[in-house]
Amino acid sequence: MGWISYTSSGGTAGLAAFATAYPQAVVVVSDTDNGIVAAVYEVGMNVCKVYATQHVKVTEYRGLTYATAVSLKNGVGVCSKVAFRTTSGSSWAVVPMLVGVERTATISRSNEAGGYKLTVTETTVENSDVRASWESGGSA
What are the boundaries of each domain within the chain? 11-128
What does the pLDDT look like over 7-30, one tens digit per residue? 877 788 999 999 999 999 999 999
Yes or no: say if 41 and 48 are a contact pair by the CB < 8 Å rule: yes
CA-to-CA dists, residue 3 to 22, 65, 130, angstroms: 12, 5, 42
- The model's pTM: 0.87
Query: What length does the chain have?
Result: 140
Which three-class secondary structure state does DSSP give residue 128? Answer: helix
Average pLDDT taken over every residue of the chain? 92
What does the pLDDT look like over 120-134, one tens digit per residue? 999 999 999 999 999
pLDDT in tens, the chain (140 residues): 589 999 877 788 999 999 999 999 999 999 999 999 999 999 888 899 999 999 999 999 999 999 999 999 998 988 999 999 999 888 889 999 999 999 999 999 998 898 999 999 999 999 999 999 999 865 54
